Copies of this chain bind each other. A is one copy, B any other.
Amino acid sequence: MKLHWSPRSPFVRKVMILAHETGLEGRLQLIRTVVAMAQPNHALLADNPLSKIPTLVLDDGVVLYDSRVICEYLDHLHDGPRLFPLTPVERWQALRRQALGDGILDVLLLWRNERMKPRERQTQALLDAFELKVNTALRMLEREAPALNAAPFDIGHIGIGCALSYIDFRFPGRDWRASRPQLTSWHRGFQGRPSVQRTEPTDQD
């Protein structure tokens, strides 16, 4: 399988963490693919008309995207514990947490794009809205951290962990840990996993 990949994309990282957790990383042939919101990648457009990564090309030519679909696909290829739980209560909780992590990432990516524009083209109401959403999510996650700790590791943990780690990577000045001891502690455990350490983002190619 070929994976359109970047060492910096947090959505690609979800896939790579799941691949490491499930022993599938050796089956992924990584294709370094550069995308930006305002710069579609023309080679990638042939596989994914939205020019987004991760995009997975199976050996029979079938193309899968986005990160949620690829993660669930990979999760059915191994015999270990499922990271997409099959029992209803656990499944909805895991999928909801993944959606929360993905949603935080969507906000962070838009926020970063907005901040990189020249000042006169930035929209203050958007910057304010992004900050409010991320802070509200972090407050909720602090309350939810004990439940995160108690549940077996699943796709929800991957989604939330990738979102928090992306704050560290792209918003290093934001001290999200202050006054959030439980979430900080949970994230420390997340960062200790080999799958997470092996997929640490880098500003170097």
Contacts and interface: CB of A to CB of B under 8 A. Distances in A.
Interface of A: 37-40, 45, 49-52, 62-66, 68-69, 72-73, 76, 88, 92-93, 95-96, 99-100, 102-104, 107, 117, 120-123, 125-126, 128-129, 132-133, 136-137, 139-140
A50 B123 contact: no
A50, A107, A123, most chain B CB atoms within 10 A: A50
Nearest to A62: B92
A52 B136 CA distance: 13
Contacts of A68: 68, 95, 99
A88 B107 contact: no
The oligomer's copy count stands at 2
B65 A104 contact: no
Nearest to A114: B123
Given A123-B117, A126-B37, A133 B49 contact: yes
A120 B123 contact: no
Given A50-B104, A50-B133, A51-B133, A99 B38 contact: no
Contact of A50 (B49, B69, B103): B103
B50 A107 contact: yes
B92 A129 contact: no
A83 to B, nearest CB: 16
A123 B51 CA distance: 19
Return the 5 tightest CB-CB contacts between A and B, nearest first.
Answer: A49-B136, A49-B137, A38-B125, A50-B103, A69-B95
A66 B65 CA distance: 17
B104 A64 contact: no
Given A38-B125, A92-B69, A139 B49 contact: yes
B69 A125 contact: no
A69 B99 contact: yes
